Amino acid sequence: MTYHKAVLLTECIEGLNIKPNGIYVDVTFGGGGHSREILKHLVDGKLFAFDRDDDVLENIPNDKKFKLIQTNYKNIKRFLRLEGITKIDGILADLGVSSHQFDVAERGFSFRFEAELDMRMNTSASLSARKVVNEYSEEDLVNLFFKYGEIRISRKVAELIVLAREKKEIVTTTDLLEILDGVVPEKKKNQFLSQVFQSIRIEVNQEIESLKQMLIDGVGLLNVGGRFVVLSYHSLEDRLVKNIFKRGNLSGEIKKDFFGNILKEMREVNRKVIVASEKEQKENNRSRSSKLRIAEKVEC
């Protein structure tokens, strides 16, 4: 099964600063590219990987140092505890949707293909894109398009969807495209549609809430000196990562102790965000919007 080539692979592995006997977690296993590289650096260490997509079962490496846990990464703390793990030496998170999920037409992630509106990373989950566009109130649709897609005309988009579904159910990606046809100039069409589909996908998979929980619990799980390596692909994700690494909390509010020191558990390894080289961007389209941040757990 074809998955995307791992983004910023060398930079991610170097960022983890892997100890041969350490315990590491890849919270976004996907095609397994990052995990396989981590395993090369482990001797008697252990790598736990998380992914809720059944398709990844075809990519599991045959390595006794590896274990896949099939659940949302927001459950990292609870499921590692079930494995007897309460402290770890590093976490890698490659956020967003894999190229595989976009390229499998029937998953309904992409507006490039006609398919039923689905977008579920966990195919057994009850909430789908079809349910969102047909059952959410107009106000809820306005909020999700504005919040998750940063769409300025979110009110107009929501109104068009509500009007259309009164006539017939919105079932496929093509149905949605027809509703939104002509809303923006042709030159802005692809960007606009990407924002619409991104908004719905984030809602279906509760991506932002899951990320918040994973970041908080991940920081708590790290040993002092442990590394947190995160690849993000849009500003909503990157802002949360930046805040918790730089400010010590998700809101980005600066909190200081009695002596004026910022209260935070992480130290940024790279003050400036790392992006893919021109060469990698040409070879791997997915890397073009990637932003890599690395931080290390410090004594509080």
Domain ranges of the chain: 9-99+207-297, 104-205
- pTM exceeding 0.95: no
User: Both ends of the chain: CA-CA distance in Å?
Assistant: 44
Pick the CATH number of 9-99+207-297 from 3.40.50.360, 3.40.50.720, 3.40.50.150, 3.90.226.10: 3.40.50.150
Handedness of CA 274, 192, 110, 133 (dihedral sign): positive
Distance CA 266, CA 95 (A): 20
pLDDT given for residue 4 in this prediction: 61
Rounded to a whole number, what is the largest CA-CA distance in the chain? 64
pLDDT given for residue 108 in this prediction: 52
pLDDT given for residue 53 in this prediction: 81
Closest C-alpha to 278, from 293, 288, 286: 288
- Phi (first) and psi of residue 110, to 5 degrees: -115, 145
Distance CA 222, CA 66 (A): 19
Distance CA 4, CA 2 (A): 7
Burial class of residue 127 in the structure, from the number of CB atoms within 10 Å of its CB (0-12 exposed, 13-18 middle, 19+ buried): middle
Burial class of residue 81 in the structure, from the number of CB atoms within 10 Å of its CB (0-12 exposed, 13-18 middle, 19+ buried): exposed
Neighbouring residues of 43: CB distance < 8 A, sequence distance ≥ 6: 20, 21
Q: Degrees (nearest 5) of the Cα angle 209, 213, 216?
A: 140
pLDDT given for residue 299 in this prediction: 85
Sheet strand arrangement including 23-26 = 66-69, 46-50, 23-26, 88-94, 222-232, 291-297, 266-268
Give me the residue label for tokens 């402290």.
87
Average pLDDT for runs of 10 along the chain of length 300: 74 98 96 95 98 86 96 97 98 77 52 81 89 98 96 97 98 94 91 93 94 98 98 94 95 89 92 93 88 93
In words, the CATH class of domain 104-205 is mainly alpha
Closest C-alpha to 28, from 84, 82, 78, 97: 97
pLDDT given for residue 2 in this prediction: 47
pLDDT given for residue 121 in this prediction: 84
Neighbouring residues of 126: CB distance < 8 A, sequence distance ≥ 6: none
Structure tokens at 130: 């079809």
